Every structure is written in structure tokens, then in C-alpha cells.
Structure 1
Amino acid sequence: MFLGILGLLMIVIIVWSLIQSKTNPVPIFVIVPIIMAVIAGFGPSDIFTFIQAGVSKTWSTAVLFIFSIVYFSLMSDVGLFDPLVNYLAKKAGNNIMLVTIATALIAVVGHLDGALASTLLITIPAMLPIYKKLHIRPVTLVCIIGAAMSIMNLVPWGGPVARTGVVLNADVNALWQALIPLQGVGLVILIIFAAYMGMVEKRRGAGLNPTGEAALLDSSLVPTDGNVTSEDLEAMKRPKLLWFNGLLTLVVIGLLCFTKIPLYGAFMFGLAIALIVNFPGAKAQSKAIKMHADTALTMPMILLASGVFLGVLSGTKMMDNMASMLITLVPDFLGGHLQTIFGILGVPIGMLLGTDSYFFGLVPLAISVGEKFGVNPQDMAMAMLISKNYGVLVTPHAATTFLACGLAGIEIKDMLKFCAPRLFIMSLISLACGAMLGLFHI
């Protein structure tokens, strides 16, 4: 119980500090967990082991971020996205809903491989310049992608369904077949949600000729160093290499989707080729990289620091104790409806625990307790699976959350404030649909 309380307190402090934005996330993710581990009675050698284990889980995403952000920023610098941006901006005009719906559809297609990172890496760089040009908030882009990934993540090769199959000792394909009707309904709800978000942005004045609050948005397309001038950016354009850069990007995306090469390996390859062809000479290549050094290094530092938090949370067993503590808080008279309760709380609990701890820590415990009250294990697992999925992009200690923030150029506090409530509502709608489709009994 003591470790569970410490773990919960640590998460509350970290989330509060991130939202308050009083300091950089790096010291928050490093200092708070170490202090909590010391309070829990662990010595330096134990804490170092926890840190090593945690950082080993985040380093690959940190490396991925370094190379992917520089690659896509470079492609934007050389003008790869300009024709698409200009075309869509011209066609959309003030019909912002077309852009937001297109975002949802691109994210759906991008998530067919079930990988969160590759969906973000495909969708955000392609759509962000359009959002900036039409004065649509980038946080809206991230929110729509989060909703699209949530419903598409129910495929059998997606992590949540696979984990649920392991917990239930069930065939993942059988689970997916039961979920297909929900996915169909969910895609319709997604399009409606994307259209609604477009209406909201239009009311704010978004469009080619913005009015109201939307006019205050920065219209720059790529985050760069403050010393970079518009003349520098114009000199980076490579219109004669448009087709080469487009083909290279398709190759990189193909490597992401259809091979088992590490994601960061695909971007290492793409960036190396892009630098050689677009910027011959060491001096030109160094300048191209330095233009985005600030963005490319800041977020990986946060990702590596979050590994300290994850390592301490897991290594000290705070996570396991938190899961057990949550179960004991359920009153007896609600025992027969545990699946509904945990379904409703799927997003907030999932944000606290993270994916692995949620499915391998909390779900088995919830099933065990639910059985004592006559709750079918499949009902419990299905309810917890359906709702939790909508928290995949708003978990404060998940690497993909920081990847999304970095690619979209938004702060995590803004993402959590904007996306979490909307995705929580989407999870409740999806949960209600799942109940009506008979996926679990209320």
C-alpha cells in the first residue's frame, strides 16, 4: 500500500508539474522519481539499476526522434510538401472540415500497420504545413490522429489486442472478429468527430484569410533556430529535386511499414541520402542539420529522462502496488458492474499506468476480482480494452506522446489539456457502442 501511494503521488506531482510548465520536463522526470525511490528505502545501486532498465526502453525512440525530426524538417526546407500544401490550401479555402476529415483518413491508412510511431511520422509532417497555412491549431491535428489511432489500434497485430489475448489466453483473431463491428461504427464516429473539430476551428476564424483568434497563430511551417532568416529558408529550396525527394520519402515510409528494420534505421538511411543529394559538401550539410538542432535534441533528452521515471515506477514495484490499490478501492455493491466501472475509467487509469502495466498488471487483477462478483473475464477485458485505447496518445510518460508533441511543435501541457478530455469522451461513446453491440455486458 505504501509503495502504491508513493507511486500515485509521484505521478500526480509529475503530471501537475508538466501542466504547470514551471520547469523543463527533464529535471521533473529525473529528480522526482529518484526522491520517491529514496523515500521508498532503495539505495543508490538499486536506483541505478532501475534507471538503466528504464532508459533502455526509451533510447530507441529518442534516437528515432533525432533522425526523423531532422529528416522531415529537411524535406520541408527543400520544398517537398509545398505543392501538396498549396493545392490543398487552395482547394479547401475556408472549408476546414475537408482538411480535418482528410487528416482522419490519412491517419487511419497510416495506422494499418498498428504502429503508433509510424502513424505519427507519416501523418503529422504531411499535414502540419497545411494546418499552419490555414491557421488551424496543430493540437487539433494531434487530437484527430489520436482518435483515429484509437479505433484502428483494435487490429489483431496492434499491441492492446495482442496483450488482451495473452491475458485471456484467447485467440487474437477471434477477439478482432468480435471487434470488427465496433471498428466500423468507430470509423463513422471518427469522421463525425473530425468534421466537428473542423467546424470548431472554422468558428475560431481558420482559413486562408483568417479572422479572430486563428489570425494570431504563427504561420511558419517549420520550427527553426531563431537566427535563421527567410532568405536562408528560401535558399534551402530544391525544386529540381522534388521528384527525387518524394521518391526517397516513399522509400523511407515503405521501410517503416513493410520491413522489420528499426524505425530509426529507416530515417538514418533517408537522412544520409537526403543530405548527400540536396546539400553537397560538409559545410552545407552541417548548416542544414543545425537549423533543427534545438528541436531534434530537446525532445530526445525528455524521452531519455522519462526512462528514469519508468524504470523507478516499475523497478520499485510501485506500479504493481498501484494496480492492487485501485482494485481494493471498489465498493462491494458495485462488484457486479466492475467491467463498466473500469471501462469508464479506462482513459484516466491508462494515463497513470501506461500500456504494459495496464494490460499485464491491472487487467488480470480486475478479472480476478470481477470473477468473485460473477463478472465474465471476457466482459471485463473487452470493456477495459475498448476504453483504454483512447488514452494511447495522452499518456504523459509514453514515448509516443512526446514524439507527437515534438513533431507537431506543441507543449505537452497543451496537448493534455486539449486532447485528454475530448478523447475521454470518445472513449465513453465507443464503450457505449461496444455494450450495444454485445461485446460485454453492463
Structure 2
Amino acid sequence: MFLGILGLLMIVIIVWALIQSKTNPVPIFVIVPIIMAVIAGFGPTEIYGFIKAGVTKTWSTAVLFIFSIIYFSLMGDVGLFDPLVNWLVKKAGSNIVMVTVATSLIAVVAHLDGALASTLLITIPAMLPLYKKLHMRPVVLVCIIGAAMSIMNLVPWGGPVARVGVVLNADVNELWKSLIPLQGIGLIILVAFAAYMGMVEKRRGAGLVPTGKAAELDASMDSVEEAANQAELDAMKRPKLLWFNALLTIGVIGLLCFTKIPLYGAFMFGLALALIVNFPGAKAQAKAIKMHADTAVTMPMILLASGVFLGVLSGTGMMKAMAEMLINIVPQALGGHLQVIFGILGLPIGMLLGTDSYFFGLLPLAIGVGKQFGVHPQDMSMAMLIAKNYGVLVTPHAATTFLACGLAGIEIKELLRFCAPRLYVLSLISLVCGAALGLFAL
């Protein structure tokens, strides 16, 4: 009980501090968990073990961040995405709805491999320049991608379904087949949601002005400083190397999707070739890297620091204690409808616990308690799976959340405030559709 209260308090403090943005996330993820571990009675040696275990789980993704962010930022600098952006601007014109719908479809295709990171790394760099040109908020781009990943992530190789299969000791493909109708409906809902977000942006003034120029945040582009910055960016363009960069990027994505090479290994290889071909000479290569060093270093630092939080949460037993607390507070009268309750609470609980803790910690306990009230394990699993999946991009301590922030150039508080409520509504709609399709009993 004591550990559960400490765990909940730790999560509340961390989430509150991240949203308030009073300090950098790094000290938040390091100091708060260590203090809580000390309060729980653990000594320096034990805490060191927790930290080591947690950071071990996040270091490979941190390395991925460094090379992937610089790679795609570099591809943007050299103009790889300019033809796509210019074509979309020409086709879309002032039709912002077409842009947001296109975003959803691109994200769906990009997520066919089931990897959250690669979906972000493909979709955001390709669409962000267009959003900026049309005076559309980057957080809208991230929100639409989050919705697309949520419904597409129900494929067997996406992760959550596989975890449920392990817990239920069930055939993953059979679980997925039952989810296919929901995915079909979910895609329709996704396109409608993207269109709605486009209408919202249009009402805010996004789009092209009568002169044909993209709407701008202000008229300060005439300043000498910004003109100089633009000239520097123009000097980075490599139009003659467009096909090389395009083929190289396709090759990197191919390595991500069709080989067992670590994600960071694929981007290391791609970045090395991109630097050699696009920027011959040590000075030119150093300059190209330094332009994005801030983002490329900041995000991995945050991720490594979040490993401290995850290590303490798991190693101290706080995660298990919290899961037991959440189950024990359910009133006896509602026991027969536990699957609905946990479905409704799936996204917010999932945001707090994270994917592995949710499926391997909370779900088995929820199934065990549900059995006492006659709730079938598959009913519980389906309800919790459907709702939780919409939280894949709004979990404050998940690697992909910070990757999205880094690529889109937004703060985590902005992502949580904007995306979480909208994705929660989509999760409830999906839950209702799942019940209507008979995926779980009410």
C-alpha cells in the first residue's frame, strides 16, 4: 500500500512538473524517482541497480534519436522533401482539409511495419514543412499521426496485441482477425477526425492568402537576421543530389522495415553516407551536424533520464503495488462490469503506467479479479487493449512521445494538453464500436 501511494505520488509530481514546464525534464526524471526510492527505504546500492536496469532499457533508443533526428533534419536541409511539399501545396492550395487527410493516410501507410518510431520518422519530416508553410500548428500534425498509429497499432506485429496474446496464451493472429472490423471502422473515424482537424485549422486562418504565398505567423521575414538565416538554409540545398538522397532514404527505411538491423544502426549507416556525399570535407560535415546538435542531444538525454524513472518504478515494486491498488478500489457492485470500467480508464491509466507495465502488470491482475465476478479474460483484455492503444503517443515517459516532440519542435506540455483529450475521446468512441462489434461483453 505504501509503495503504491509513493508510486502514484511520484507519477503525479512528474506529470505535473512536465506540464508546468518549470524545469527541464532531465532533472525531473532523475531527482524525483531517487527521492521517492530513498523515502521507500532503499539504499544507494539498490537504487544504483534500479537506475542501471532502467537506463539499460532506454540507451539503444537514445542512440537512435541522435542519428535519426540528425539524418532526417539533414534530409530536410538538403531539400529532399521540397518536391513533395511543393506538390502538396500546389494541389491543396487553401484546402487545409486535404492536407490533414493526406497526413492521416501517409501515417497509416508508414505504420504498416508496426513501429511507432519509424512512423514518426517518416511522416513528420515529410509533412512538417508543409504545415509551416500553410501556417498550421505542428501539434495538429502530431495528433493526427497519434490517432493513425493508435488504430494501426492493433496489427499482430504492432506490440500491444502480441502482449495480450502472451498474457492470454492465445494465438495472436486469431486475436487480430477479431480486431480487423474495428480497424476498418477506426480508419473511417481517423479520416473524419483528420478532416475535422483541418476545418479547425482553416477557421484559425491557415492556408494560402490571395497572393498565393503561404500564410505566415508574422511579417518579420523581412528582417536582416531572418533573411540571413534563410540564405544559410538555401545554401544547404542539394537539388542535384535529390535522387541520391531519395534512394538513400528509401534504403534506410527498407533496412528499418525488412531487416533485423537495429534501428540506430540503419540511421548510422544512412547518416554517414549522406554526410560524405552531400557535404564533402570535415568542416562542412561538422557544420551540418551542429545545426541540429541541440535537438539531437537534448532528446536522448531526456530519454536516458526517463530510464531512471522506469527503473525505480519497476525495481522498487511501486508498479505492482499501484496496479493492486487500482483494482482494490473498484466497488463490489461494479465487479461484473470491470471490463467496461478498465476500458474507460484505459488511456489515463496507460499514460501513467506505460505499455509494458500496463499489459504485463495491470492486465493479469485485472483478469484475476474479473474472474471472481464472472468477467471472461478475453473480454477484459479486449476492452483494455482497445482503449489503451490511443495513448501510444501521450505517455509522458515513453520514448516515442519525446521523439514526436523533437521532430515536430513542440514541448511535451503542448503535446499532452492538445493531444491527450482528443485521443481520449477517440478511445471512448473506439471502445463503443468494439462493444457494438461484440469484441467484449458489457
Fold agreement, TM-score > 0.5 = yes
Q: Which amino acid aligns with 2:69?
A: I
Aligned position for 1:257: 257
Q: Which amino acid aligns with 1:414?
A: E
Instruction: Describe how 1:319-358 pairs up with structure 2 within 5 A.
Output: 319-358=319-358
Aligned position for 1:67: 67
Deviations 1:48-71 (A, max 9, x none): 110111111111111111111111
Aligned position for 1:137: 137
In structure 2, what is the Cα distance between the partners aligned to 1:230 and 1:205?
24
Distance 1:210 1:274, change over 3 A: farther
Aligned position for 1:123: 123
Structure 2 portions without partners, runs of 5+: none
- 8 A contact 1:303–1:399 mirrored in 2: yes
Deviations 1:144-194 (A, max 9, x none): 111111101111111100010111111111101111100011011011001
Q: Alignment length, in residue pairs?
A: 436
Aligned position for 1:216: 217
Displacement after TM superposition at 1:209 (Å): 2.5
- 8 A contact 1:182–1:437 mirrored in 2: yes
- 8 A contact 1:154–1:161 mirrored in 2: yes
In structure 1, what is the Cα distance between the partners aligned to 2:16 and 2:194?
29
Aligned position for 1:146: 146
TM-score (norm 2): 0.96
Aligned position for 1:189: 189
The two structures, once aligned, show a CA RMSD in angstroms of: 1.7
Instruction: Describe how 1:399-438 pairs up with structure 2 within 5 A.
Output: 399-438=399-438
Structure 1 portions without partners, runs of 5+: none
In structure 1, what is the Cα distance between the partners aligned to 2:80 and 2:154?
33
Deviations 1:100-126 (A, max 9, x none): 111111111111111111111111111
Aligned position for 1:26: 26
Distance 1:315 1:170, change over 3 A: same
Moved beyond 6 Å, runs of 4+: 217-220, 225-228
Q: Which amino acid aligns with 1:80?
A: L
The residue matched to 1:216 in structure 2 has which SS?
Answer: coil
Distance 1:228 1:113, change over 3 A: farther
Q: Which amino acid aligns with 2:299?
A: M
Distance 1:208 1:226, change over 3 A: closer
In structure 2, what is the Cα distance between the partners aligned to 1:227 and 1:65?
30
Aligned position for 2:397: 397
In structure 1, what is the Cα distance between the partners aligned to 2:227 and 2:416?
30
- 8 A contact 1:135–1:217 mirrored in 2: no
- 8 A contact 1:370–1:376 mirrored in 2: yes
The residue matched to 2:396 in structure 1 has which SS?
Answer: coil
Aligned position for 1:229: 229
1:296 and 2:296 matched: yes
The residue matched to 2:410 in structure 1 has which SS?
Answer: coil
Deviations 1:384-405 (A, max 9, x none): 0000000011000111110111
Aligned position for 2:38: 38
TM-score (norm 1): 0.96
**Matched residues, percent identical?**
83
In structure 1, what is the Cα distance between the partners aligned to 2:395 and 2:131?
24
Distance 1:432 1:122, change over 3 A: same
Q: Which amino acid aligns with 1:362?
A: L
- 8 A contact 1:135–1:210 mirrored in 2: no
Greater displacement, 348-357 / 232-241? 232-241
Displacement after TM superposition at 1:217 (Å): 7.4
Deviations 1:262-301 (A, max 9, x none): 1111110110000000110101110111111111111111
1:93 and 2:93 matched: yes
Displacement after TM superposition at 1:229 (Å): 2.2
Aligned position for 1:53: 53
Deviations 1:343-378 (A, max 9, x none): 000000000000011001111111111111111111
In structure 2, what is the Cα distance between the partners aligned to 1:162 and 1:344?
22
Aligned position for 1:310: 310
- 8 A contact 2:133–2:216 mirrored in 1: no
The residue matched to 2:136 in structure 1 has which SS?
Answer: coil
- 8 A contact 1:132–1:219 mirrored in 2: no
In structure 1, what is the Cα distance between the partners aligned to 2:227 and 2:264?
28
